[in-house]
Structure 1
Amino acid sequence: MQVIIKSRQMQVTPQLRQRIERKTQRLARWLNDDARIEVTVSEEQTRSANDRYSVQLALAGNAHAIRSEVSALTASAALDLVLDKIIAQLGKQKDRLTTRRQHATPIKILSLSRLGELSSTDEYEEAEDVSASVSDEHNEEIWSRVMEIRRLPTRPMTDNEVIEVMEQNGNAFYPFFNEETNSVNVMYKLENGGYGLLVPAQE
């Protein structure tokens, strides 16, 4: 878990830095080891002394992207308040995901080799028919339709981690490297609230 400390219009004392590093460990139970926590401390000339110091905390992880800011009389007090606020949000997210999983249907696993065989009467009728062959003379036309290229993280993920990302970001599908199958899979959302998983066919 990486903690990055920034400041605006003030200097972060060694004591405050140590406090931030110690207090942010409260978030460890919610985050993966490669998660990033960015803490920005600022001092403003406000009418009320109770709002003099502000602490903004931003999380960036595989399944979490949360930002919150709180003002208080001291930087330490603002830090405690913003941490409480972030932890409350993480707890709500966990409860919401747990509820959705309890009402969702099990994951359906579909071999990529069967995509061309699907019909409206198939068990996996949610999947779209995909042509597996493209002739050379059409390659140029196909590539001319590619409007965007997105690069995916190569860190291995589990099914549950991918579902959390999809639930929070509203993704309809999500390609990833599955650490359980040791291959590239595609998780996709079903109309009934469940999830489907595309896996490579065994040769």
Structure 2
Amino acid sequence: MKMSIHGKQLVVTDAIRKYAESKLGRVEKYHDSIIELDVSLSAVKTKTGSNHTAEVLAYLSGSTLKATCSDVDLYAAIDQVSDIIEGQLKKHKEKRNANYGQATGVRKIKYNPETHTVEKEAAVNIVKVLLPAKPMDIEEAILQLEMLNRTFYPFTNCETGEMNIVYKRKDGDYGHIEPASK
């Protein structure tokens, strides 16, 4: 996990940096897909005194979480923002682990014609794949395939309005699968 700590109208000393790294480094155990934590510390002087703000942006694979806290003491603001981001990460992980959008427990079934019996194999997960909403032509689908670094890419063909698939072949060329005409 990459962590960047920077200050706005505040000099980030080694002590502040180490404290923030130790407090916010713990959040990694709550979620395994954290790519980067961007920590922004700031100070604002008011008539009643100074006010410190700690803001954390957690970049996950596929989403971003944000937590902000303000306090008179900078260390207290870091503590509070750490607690908030931990809660958000726990909640996000629970939602992700609830297998939203996946059917589980589906079993493969084999029929043995010699013994006239049905054999059940281990459970298989079925993953739902959503097609892009915008129809596209084959060239654009190949660009999406390369950009997303996938082996195949399903899309809705703008010429026919039907689902097609482009894929990368082992020889480096591209293949195109479309439904047979009736």
TM range (shorter): 0.5 to 0.7
Aligned to 1:105: 103
Distance 1:62 1:76, change over 3 A: same
Classify 1:47/1:31 alpha carbon distance in 2 versus 1 (closer, same or farther; 3 Å): farther
Q: Residue 15 of structure 1: CA displacement?
A: 0.5
Q: Cα distance, 1:41 vs. partner?
A: 0.5
Partners of 2:80 and 2:144 in 1: CA distance: 37
The 3 A distance-change label for structure 1 pair 61 and 45 is: same
Residue aligning to 1:135 = none
**Structure 1 residues 73 and 98 mapped into 2: Cα distance closer, same or farther (>3 Å)?**
same
Look up the match of 1:41.
Answer: 41
Relative to structure 1, the CA distance from residue 61 to residue 151 in structure 2 (aligned partners, 3 Å threshold; closer, same or farther) is: farther
Between the two proteins, the alignment pairs up a number of residues equal to 133
1:38 Cα deviation (Å)?
0.7
Question: Which stretches in structure 2 are left out of the alignment for 5+ residues?
Answer: 105-124, 132-136, 155-164, 171-182
Q: Report which structure shows greater RCO (CA 8 Å, sep ≥6).
A: 1
Q: Who is 1:9 aligned against?
A: 9
Instruction: Determine if contact 1:58/1:68 at 8 Å carries over to the other structure.
Output: yes
Given residue 76 of structure 1, which amino acid in structure 2 is its aligned partner? Answer: Y
Question: Which structure 2 residues correspond to residues 22-37 of structure 1 after superposition, within 5 A?
Answer: 22-29=22-29, 30-32=31-33, 35-37=35-37
Match of 1:69 in 2: 68
The CA deviation at 1:57 is 0.5
Q: Separation in 1 of the partners of 2:95 and 2:71?
A: 30
How far off its partner does 1:22 sit? 1.4
Unaligned runs of 5+ in 1: 111-125, 128-141, 154-174, 178-183, 188-197
Q: TM-score, normalised by structure 1?
A: 0.51
Q: CA deviation at 1:97?
A: 2.6
Aligned counterparts of 1:151 and 1:37: Cα–Cα separation in 2? 29
**Shift in Å, 1:98:** 2.9
Structure 2 counterparts to residues 51-62 of structure 1, below 5 A: 52-62=51-61
Give the deviation of 1:13 after TM superposition.
Answer: 1.4
Larger helix percent:
1
RMSD: 4.0
- Give the distance between the partners of 2:63 and 2:100, measured in 1 at CA: 20
Letter in 2 for 1:44: V
User: What is the CA distance between 1:46 and its match in structure 2?
Assistant: 3.4
Match of 1:20 in 2: 20
1:104 deviates by 4.1
SS at match of 1:52: strand
Q: What is the CA-CA distance between 1:103 and the residue it aligns to?
A: 8.2
Cα distance 1:74–1:63, how it changes in 2: closer, same or farther (>3 A)? same
8 Å Cα contact 1:7/1:41 also seen in 2: yes
Higher percent of residues as strand: 2
The residue type paired with residue 54 of structure 1 is T
Preserved contact between residue 176 and residue 186 of structure 1 (Cα < 8 Å): no
Distance, in Å, in 2 between the alignment partners of 1:201 and 1:108 is 23
Q: Percent of aligned positions with the same letter in both sequences?
A: 18
CA distance in 1, matches of 2:66, 2:146: 23
